[in-house]
Structures are given as structure tokens and as C-alpha cells.
Amino acid sequence: MDTQNLRTFLTLANVKNFTQTASLLYIAQSTVTNRIAELEKEVGKQLFIRNKKNISLTREGILFQDYAKRIVDLEEMSIREMHSQAFSRASLRLGTTNTIYECYLAPVLTQMMKENTDYAVNVTISHSVTLLQMLQDGLLDLTFTYQPLLRSGFCCRKLRTDELLLVTSRKHIHYQKGIHKEELAELNYLFCNFALQDVGQFIRELFPPFYQFPFEIDNSTKLISYLLEGIGCSFLPSGLVKPYLEEKSLIAIPLLNFEAPRINSYQCWPEGRDAAFYL
């Protein structure tokens, strides 16, 4: 499978415009069209839905997108590994969720880079499922995720356990005495679509079926700025909000007749390598 065609497919899937894709790849628009046609012929499926106004991925295109990215990443990684042998620095490819990076990994890496310059560190920030797949594909050496990897050939250990706290701005002093479960639907709740074990499901089940949240985002760290502005409340990991609770810019709302689950994070790596050697 021609990786040029795959790169063209991934770019078009991202920008959803043939002209922009051609411009980004420095090729003619007809070349983009031909490459996509060749790829669709090779896989035997239509990958894009085209009309006069826009372009979008078909169901098959959505499924193929992840595989295409992994093939391109593997090619780039193999080339990088072969060339890296000429240099003294050892490659260290880390994968982490954004929350774990902000709460734990960033200061560790900062200290590591100050003390040890023997590594060429590459950090990928993504969701747990994607990171674990990249680890299994050999694209990462070590991952920090909210899901364990229980598979032969890999090691997995618990990194830490965080409380899940319902937090809001200190301006909302009427919440200091706590809240009952049945009162949650009345809140201006900012929803983060956690891919953290059963946490996302726990939060959704606190609200009525098909409840429409006033705001949704898939990155918990991005909620902090809204909360500090006095907008709504949200369940967030204690490690993320600890500095704001200590400075009292945010407060934790006591849960009166229900409990929130704890959040486990994990460190995963291939067997035969010592994770402690890395960090």
C-alpha cells in the first residue's frame, strides 16, 4: 500500500477539501483525486462522500483512518530508528493522556531533562485507547493511561489513584454545604467525556437519560479556565484541581447522598524493559 496515498487520504480526511489538501502537500489537485481513487480501488471501498458543498468520510473511511495513521506512523518510526543509530542519544517514546501529563508527567520530565541529556524524548498526548494501541504496534516505549493493558508480552502497574471531585468556583458559596444526587440536573454542569474506566458512564447516569449538557469537551484540563471564571461545575481528578483548591480559587462540593468512584492511572510497557529505567 503506497504511503503517499495514505498521507493524502489522512490530510484530506482532516481538512475535507481537495484544494487545501493539494496546497498542503504541494501537489496538483488532480494528483489528490488520483491518489484517493487508487486507494479506494485498492481497499475496495468508497472512503469519502463527495457533493458540491462538502466532503466527509464514509463509515468505511472512518474505520480505515486509524489503520492508515498507524501504517504511516510505523514507516516514519522505522526510518527514524534506523537513522538514530548514528547518534549517541537513546530514543524514548512516551505516550500519555493530557491529564496525566499535566498532573504528573510534566514535572518529572522537566527534572529528567535537567539531570539526564542521554535521551531523545518524544511525547505523544492522546486518549488511553489510542496510546495502548500505539504501544502494541511498537510506536511507543512507555504509556501513561487511564486503562490497563492486560495482555501477554506487556507489563502494567498502577501509577496512582485520584479522587473524583465535584468542583466549582469559590464564588458559588451556596454549594459549600453539599449537594444531593437528585439536584445535579439543576446545575450548569460542564461535561468532560472521560475515557476513564467507568467514570464517564458514572457521570452520565447521574443525569436523566438523553440529558443535554450545556457544555461538553473531551479534555478535562480545558475545563479549569471556565470554572475559574465562575461558569458551572464539573467532576475532575483531585490531582488536576489540587493547586486550585489549595489557593481557594476552586472549592470541592460535598456529595451528600452518593459517592464518586476513584480514578486509577496506569503505566504500561513491553516485557523485557524496565519502566523504572525510564522514569
What are the helix (H) ranges across the chain?
3-15, 18-25, 29-43, 59-84, 98-100, 106-115, 128-136, 199-205, 224-228, 238-246, 275-278
Q: How far apart are CA 73 and CA 125, in angstroms?
A: 15
- Residues 70-81: tens digit of each pLDDT: 888 777 777 666
CB-based contact 278:141 (threshold 8 Å): yes
Question: What residue ranges do the domains of the chain occupy?
Answer: 3-82, 89-161+265-278, 164-261
**Higher per-residue pLDDT: 80 or 211:** 211
pLDDT confidence tier of residue 217, bands split at 50, 70 and 90: confident
Average pLDDT of the residues in 115-131: 83
- As a whole number, the mean pLDDT across the chain is 86
Same fold, 3-82 and 89-161+265-278: no
The Cβ of residue 143 has, within 10 Å, a number of other Cβ atoms equal to 30
CATH for the stretch 3-82: 1.10.10.10
Q: What is the DSSP string of 148-162?
A: ----TTEEEEEEEEE
Domain 164-261, CATH homologous superfamily name and number: Periplasmic binding protein-like II (3.40.190.10)
- Residues 133-184: tens digit of each pLDDT: 889 888 899 999 998 998 899 999 999 999 999 999 998 888 888 999 999 8
* Secondary structure letter of residue 193 according to DSSP: -
Average pLDDT of the residues in 85-109: 81
* Domain 89-161+265-278 sits in CATH 3.40.190.10: yes
Residue 82 is predicted with a pLDDT of 62
Q: Say what the pTM is.
A: 0.67
